[in-house]
Structure 1
Amino acid sequence: MKNVLKRQVFYIQIQLESPLNVASGEDEWTDADILRDFEGNPFVSGSSLAGAMRAYVGERENEWNLFGYSADDTNGKMSSLFISDLIFDEEAVMGIRDGVGLNENKVAKAGSKYDMEILETGMKGHFYLELVIREGDDEEAMLCALSSVFAGIQQGEIRLGRKKTRGFGAFKIIKLVPKAYDRENYLEYAEAYKISFWENKPDQLENWLHIANASNRMVHIEVPLVMKGGISIRQYAAKKNAPDFVHLTSNGIPVIPGSSFAGAIRHRVKQILLDLAEEGAESPVRKNEVEQIISRMFGNASDKEGHASNIIISEARILGARPLTMVRTGISRFESAVRDGALYKERTYVDGHFKLEIAVRKGKEPKDSNWMIGILLLAIKDLENGYLAVGGQTAVGRGIFAPAVSEEYPNGVIFIDGKPGLEMQFIAEALNGLCENKG
């Protein structure tokens, strides 16, 4: 065993940027109850944090530098990074999200209804990292890799728990304080895991983000949109005297979940690819390859060939929207009369604005993701121009959007990695290069 030269402890305070479900495997209250300690307080295990970080670092670097490895009974390396559980600093704000699987005709699949327990957006918590430097370790490389983890968290590229590619599990660091311990001050290590020790220490997050390699692992797309009417993504009310159907909210703010955007965009991308396949010999894609391309873009849940989505769609918080409660009734299409027992009350939201945020994983070569982005942008253009609706009751005008305009961008704008006006370049590249990159 090599001698320990130094220990560097990091106190990290975080805030949830989207709902979080780290499941316990229990289903007492929902189909996926969140993980709790023996006192009933929710937490995120250190193993969940470590898994998310290791997967991120391992995409390009040698993750064993930080996380170690085990080759066989005699060869291996102990992990240099120890990660505590994530503990929340305030009373938990809980919620329940329900959903149902839909087929391509937006009809519910039999047996696909589910619900899950979540921690709501905005909750704050903290955890500790401890980096152990031993003889022979490349300290500079280890600190650089760790700084890239901090940058990945801030960019929303490291997420926790379930439904990570559909908006859940995003969090941000709001305070980071490191302290090194060596033979000169090793007695102070006894205070390292007491929260009172860190409370008045200055934040050093920006210093560590400056160390990180500036290259993102994903291409980030932002689309500012406004609603042209109401939105209907139902959260079924259980409170007495509440409307029968209410639009989904998070901490009282109406939201559009990533899964709703993903379903609509995936369906439109498939339509676009099928239309391209019908164009004949000049088409960059053949009809029998459409499902393969869709699977590569949006993931595959099959047991044998399953893989995560390469497209991450965040949950959108609708700002400036007005609640609107309506009483409606079902009408018999044959009698043109009210159906018995079909009266119901519904609350929707109208006239809001939001930012659609999508991230696409980069491949080893730029062309590996550029074709994916180009095809995706074609569907986003339909969404932006009101040709693609999201959510329920789209046949009666719900879920239709328009570009958010400003003095600087009177026709609306799509930002790709923070830069406007690049979408046509990506679309042209996708159509020219899709055939050779789809494999």
Structure 2
Amino acid sequence: MIEKTIYSFTLKARSPLSFGSLESEIDMDLINTDTKIKVSGNSIGGALREYLEGNAVDKKEIILAYMGGVAEQEDSEDAQDEESQPKEKFIESSIYISDGELNPASVEEKEGTSINSETGTATKHQKYKFKYFPRGTKLTFTIECDVENGKPVGKNIEITFDELVKGWAAGFHKGEIRLGREKSNGFGLLNVVSLEKKVFSFNDVEAIEEYIFHRKEKQFEEVDLAFLPDTNEINSTIAFTLSGSFPYGVYQAFYDKSLSKEKATVTGLQQVDDQYYIPATSIKGLLRHEVSLLLQQISGSEDKVNAKCGELFGDTNQQGKLRFTDVFLENSERIRIEREAKDSSTLPIYIKIDRLTGGALNNKLKHQNEVIGESKIEIELRDEGVPLEDNPYVFPLVYVLRRIGSGKVPIGGRTVIGLGEFHAHKTIINNKGEKLEIPNLTDRKELDDRVVNQPLEYLVDKPDVLQLLEKSFKSFERWVNDETQTV
């Protein structure tokens, strides 16, 4: 019996959503009407296909059966002229994905700074803005398929349409399916609010007429979401975490709208919902810079450094292995300076110096909002099925994170005066539920004597950590020297 099965997804954004490109004012993935803004079905379908392609050893047959595409044509034994045979054939999609409706479609604007990969600092005059949909935005779309015995008509495959849809729902729920751009910087995360289903049977004339004339009147039925995994379940990523604080304050040169009542222009960290945060792009740029320095020490080849950084962090030709999120400050406080004049600002004030004369420039006082607080730096590395110690990307990440957590690599701006120093006592790796804690050193003397000169000897009391770092370094070294295939 042939049936048409239609599923309706309602998703809620738990991180900002962004579509289109930075270079264009027109968001190519959005469809604007007089009353609604919609995400194109092609954009949603692309994310669903990408998830299937990266979520199993071999799902090519399933992808082609449901979503179509180009398949290789088998050679015919009877063919006399090989060149006359088509080597590829196009298979039509068995499913239809509607455009997704955004509600409410309120648009906000985010400011970012381009990070120089060579210096690890913000590039001058390279701030940019882009529009996005905030957390809480709902996205609704449908997926439908004509099925026979639960599978696409005429297709003999293992997975039913119901199983496929539930797999996609689980992918959204675990954060493995993200929509839009800036996905490596924490955007595009959505939770499944509801999943509904309705079925039309085509077993007789009355059923066909019911579908043709009254299909819009038929109500969807709620699907029980008990099949969704626990939100604490580890997805297909290796998570790296640094939990610590900025004891001396952290600063970035964004216009601070919250202090607009000050007499002078004030710059500082960005805020969302009255909470300070450091953009994911800043953390990504900082790590890329530090990893590139490490690569230069091992390879000495600029071309190889660029190629390996592109593989790990992504570039214009490929998607990277890492995902970053904005770093929010908890229990934050502004640094205040007590002054005699009651009407003067209590914010830190700096005098801009003329580089030619060495004297102070007239009317060039800079007012800054420097913030202390606690933060958690979280990075996800895509797990592709190899043991932790054989993954060449583990060592450089641990190396850089430990340097950040030990205060050796500051975050943000004005670091030459001591801002941005981050203290975290340990780097935590969460690999499919198994946690490994690697201690960081925050004492200045220990940093100089042990991290720089004897980076591993102090771990003799943690043989599991020492063994992991030694083996992962060898995997990293082989990867840099192209002695093994990339993961």
Q: Which residue of 2 aligns with 1:129?
A: 143
Output the CA distance in 2 between the equivalents of 1:319 and 1:43. 35
Q: Which residue of 2 aligns with 1:114?
A: 128
Number of aligned residue pairs: 408
Moved more, 262-271 or 119-128: 119-128
Q: Which residue of 2 aligns with 1:231?
A: 250
**8 Å Cα contact 1:166-1:259 kept in structure 2:** yes
Q: 1:399 aligns with which of 416, 420, 423?
A: 420
| 1:50 maps to amino acid | G
Instruction: Within 5 Å, give how 1:295-306 maps onto structure 2.
Output: 295-301=310-316, 306=317
Per-residue deviation, residues 142-179 of structure 1 (Å, max 9, x unmatched)? 44443333232223222222222122222222322333
Q: Residues 84, 347 of structure 1: CA spacing in aligned structure 2 closer, same or farther, 3 A cutoff? A: farther
**8 Å Cα contact 1:168-1:315 kept in structure 2:** no
Q: What is the CA-CA distance between 1:37 and the residue it aligns to?
A: 1.4
Output the CA distance in 2 between the equivalents of 1:206 and 1:86. 24
Q: Which residue of 2 aligns with 1:430?
A: 472
Output the CA distance in 1 between the equivalents of 2:377 and 2:214. 44
Q: Residues 419, 398 of structure 1: CA spacing in aligned structure 2 closer, same or farther, 3 A cutoff? A: farther
Q: Which residue of 1 aligns with 2:451?
A: none
Give the share of equivalent positions with the same residue, in percent: 20
Q: What is the CA-CA distance between 1:333 and the residue it aligns to?
A: 6.7
Q: Which has the larger radius of gyration?
A: 2
Output the CA distance in 2 between the equivalents of 1:364 and 1:413. 20
Q: What is the CA-CA distance between 1:376 and the residue it aligns to?
A: 1.0
Output the CA distance in 2 between the equivalents of 1:55 and 1:20. 18
**8 Å Cα contact 1:88-1:126 kept in structure 2:** yes
| 2:470 maps to amino acid | A
Q: What is the CA-CA distance between 1:51 and the residue it aligns to?
A: 0.8
| 2:129 maps to amino acid | D
| 1:246 maps to amino acid | G
Q: 2:361 aligns with which of 309, 315, 339?
A: 339
Q: What is the CA-CA distance between 1:216 and the residue it aligns to?
A: 4.4
**8 Å Cα contact 1:390-1:400 kept in structure 2:** yes
Q: Residues 401, 68 of structure 1: CA spacing in aligned structure 2 closer, same or farther, 3 A cutoff? A: same
Q: 2:185 aligns with which of 151, 158, 166?
A: 166
Unaligned stretches of 5+ in structure 1? 278-285, 405-410
**8 Å Cα contact 2:395-2:476 kept in structure 1:** no
Q: Are residue 272 (structure 1) and residue 290 (structure 2) matched?
A: no
Q: 2:406 aligns with which of 366, 378, 385?
A: 385
Q: Residues 193, 377 of structure 1: CA spacing in aligned structure 2 closer, same or farther, 3 A cutoff? A: farther
Q: Tell me the secondary structure at the aligned position of residue 160 of structure 1.
A: coil
Q: Which residue of 1 aligns with 2:66?
A: 66
Per-residue deviation, residues 59-100 of structure 1 (Å, max 9, x unmatched)? 341221321124579944322232222222335151232323
**8 Å Cα contact 1:227-1:399 kept in structure 2:** yes
Q: Residues 341, 44 of structure 1: CA spacing in aligned structure 2 closer, same or farther, 3 A cutoff? A: farther
Unaligned stretches of 5+ in structure 2? 72-85, 336-345, 439-464, 483-487
Q: What is the CA-CA distance between 1:40 and the residue it aligns to?
A: 6.3
Q: 1:251 aligns with which of 266, 269, 273?
A: 273
Instruction: Within 5 Å, give how 1:67-86 maps onto structure 2.
Output: 67-70=67-70, 75-86=89-100
**8 Å Cα contact 2:11-2:191 kept in structure 1:** yes
Q: Are residue 105 (structure 1) and residue 119 (structure 2) matched?
A: yes
**8 Å Cα contact 1:97-1:118 kept in structure 2:** no
Q: Tell me the secondary structure at the aligned position of residue 42 of structure 2.
A: helix
Q: What is the CA-CA distance between 1:332 and the residue it aligns to?
A: 2.3
Q: Are residue 10 (structure 1) and residue 10 (structure 2) matched?
A: no
C-alpha RMSD over aligned residues: 3.7
Per-residue deviation, residues 281-338 of structure 1 (Å, max 9, x unmatched)? xxxxx3234443222211233xxxx212111112233333234572513242777754
Q: Are residue 316 (structure 1) and residue 327 (structure 2) matched?
A: yes
Q: Residues 431, 10 of structure 1: CA spacing in aligned structure 2 closer, same or farther, 3 A cutoff? A: same
Per-residue deviation, residues 199-229 of structure 1 (Å, max 9, x unmatched)? xx6552332559xxx9944323333333323
Q: Which residue of 2 aligns with 1:287?
A: 300
Output the CA distance in 2 between the equivalents of 1:376 and 1:202. 43
Output the CA distance in 2 between the equivalents of 1:271 and 1:377. 14
**8 Å Cα contact 1:330-1:339 kept in structure 2:** yes
Q: 1:90 aligns with which of 97, 104, 115?
A: 104
TM-score by length of 1: 0.79
Output the CA distance in 2 between the equivalents of 1:190 and 1:398. 68
Q: Are residue 206 (structure 1) and residue 226 (structure 2) matched?
A: yes
Output the CA distance in 2 between the equivalents of 1:6 and 1:208. 25
**8 Å Cα contact 1:18-1:120 kept in structure 2:** yes
Output the CA distance in 2 between the equivalents of 1:295 and 1:27. 24
| 1:253 maps to amino acid | Q
**8 Å Cα contact 2:9-2:142 kept in structure 1:** yes
Q: Residues 419, 37 of structure 1: CA spacing in aligned structure 2 closer, same or farther, 3 A cutoff? A: same
Moved more, 59-68 or 335-344: 335-344
**8 Å Cα contact 2:388-2:394 kept in structure 1:** no
Q: Are residue 47 (structure 1) and residue 42 (structure 2) matched?
A: yes
| 1:250 maps to amino acid | V
Q: Residues 140, 308 of structure 1: CA spacing in aligned structure 2 closer, same or farther, 3 A cutoff? A: closer
Q: Which residue of 2 aligns with 1:21?
A: 18
Q: What is the CA-CA distance between 1:189 and the residue it aligns to?
A: 9.1
Per-residue deviation, residues 119-145 of structure 1 (Å, max 9, x unmatched)? 222323322222332333336354444
Output the CA distance in 1 between the equivalents of 2:427 and 2:310. 31
**8 Å Cα contact 1:177-1:205 kept in structure 2:** no
Q: What is the CA-CA distance between 1:22 and the residue it aligns to?
A: 0.5
Q: Which residue of 2 aligns with 1:282?
A: none
Q: 1:421 aligns with which of 412, 415, 436?
A: 436
| 1:7 maps to amino acid | K
Q: Are residue 157 (structure 1) and residue 140 (structure 2) matched?
A: no
**8 Å Cα contact 1:329-1:343 kept in structure 2:** yes
| 1:385 maps to amino acid | S
**8 Å Cα contact 2:246-2:421 kept in structure 1:** yes
Q: Residues 39, 97 of structure 1: CA spacing in aligned structure 2 closer, same or farther, 3 A cutoff? A: farther
Q: 1:361 aligns with which of 359, 373, 382?
A: 382
